[in-house]
Amino acid sequence: MFKILIIDPNTPFRKSLIKSLSSQFPEAELRGAVSGAEGLNQMDTFVPHLIFMDLYLPDISGLDLAKKIRASHSEIITAIFVRYDFPEYQAAASKCGVAHLIPKDDWTVKDILALVEAVSSGRQKSNLKKADNDHFKT
């Protein structure tokens, strides 16, 4: 079973994303968390294949959380929601082991569903080393 964890303090956004993903991927197990600590606690019993997280969490930055996750679970693919797709974010995310930056204003649910489909089928690739701001493509 493919497992996804969504760590985002914005409850309506998190619940909406879980609803969209569960309708498209009914076989997937989805969980949500409001903070980095809650997400890490869930990982004691639920190790996801893919984690979506916000850059700004109430207790830790998404980049620092990605580093912690990478240190103990290098196989987990992480994607961070950002407000802007700045080159500085790209470089920092790459150093922290993040596979994807997702600009909240530019990506659609369709783009996120395509990313989940690619990751769950083993066809994913990072979007961090691109020179432009193209969306993830399979």
CATH number of the domain that residue 9 is part of: 3.40.50.2300
**Residue 49: HSE in the Cβ half-sphere, 13 Å Cα cutoff:** 15
The Cα–Cα gap between 69 and 46 comes to 13
The Cα–Cα gap between 126 and 98 comes to 8
- In this structure, is residue 64 part of a structural domain? yes
What is the model's pLDDT at position 88? 87
- In this structure, is residue 43 part of a structural domain? yes
What is the model's pLDDT at position 126? 62
What is the model's pLDDT at position 106? 83
The Cα–Cα gap between 119 and 114 comes to 9
What is the model's pLDDT at position 87? 86
Six-digit token string for 10: 């914005």
**Residue 56: HSE in the Cβ half-sphere, 13 Å Cα cutoff:** 6
The structural domain count of the chain equals 1
Range of the structural domain that residue 47 is part of: 3-120
- In this structure, is residue 138 part of a structural domain? no
pTM: 0.87
- In this structure, is residue 116 part of a structural domain? yes
- In this structure, is residue 103 part of a structural domain? yes
The Cα–Cα gap between 129 and 43 comes to 28
The Cα–Cα gap between 78 and 75 comes to 9
- In this structure, is residue 136 part of a structural domain? no
Averaged pLDDT, groups of 10, the chain, 138 residues long: 96 96 96 98 96 97 96 95 87 92 87 93 62 36
- In this structure, is residue 58 part of a structural domain? yes
- In this structure, is residue 135 part of a structural domain? no
